[in-house]
Amino acid sequence: MRGPSGHNGPVTYPSYPYPPQYPPVARQPSAGTAITAVVLAYAAVGAAGIGLIYTVPLPSHYDAGPFWFAVVAVEVATLVLLGAGATMMLAGVTAGRWMVVAGCVVLITAVVVGSIILVVYAADAVESSSRSTAPDGDWSPVIAWGVGIVLAFLFATVVVPAALIAGLTLSSSTKRWVERPRVR
φ, ψ dihedrals at 2, nearest 5°: -90, 140
Query: Between 70 and 44, whose confidence is greater?
Result: 44
| Residue 75 pLDDT exceeds 70 | yes
Confidence of residue 118 (pLDDT cuts 50, 70, 90): confident
78-82, 95-99, 114-118 — which is least confidently predicted? 114-118
Among residues 152, 122, 126, the alpha carbon closest in space to that of 139 is found at: 126
| Rounded CA separation 17/87 (Å) | 48
Say if CB 21 and CB 159 are below 8 A apart. Answer: no
Confidence of residue 122 (pLDDT cuts 50, 70, 90): confident
Domain residue limits, the chain: 32-177
| Rounded CA separation 154/98 (Å) | 24
Confidence of residue 78 (pLDDT cuts 50, 70, 90): very high
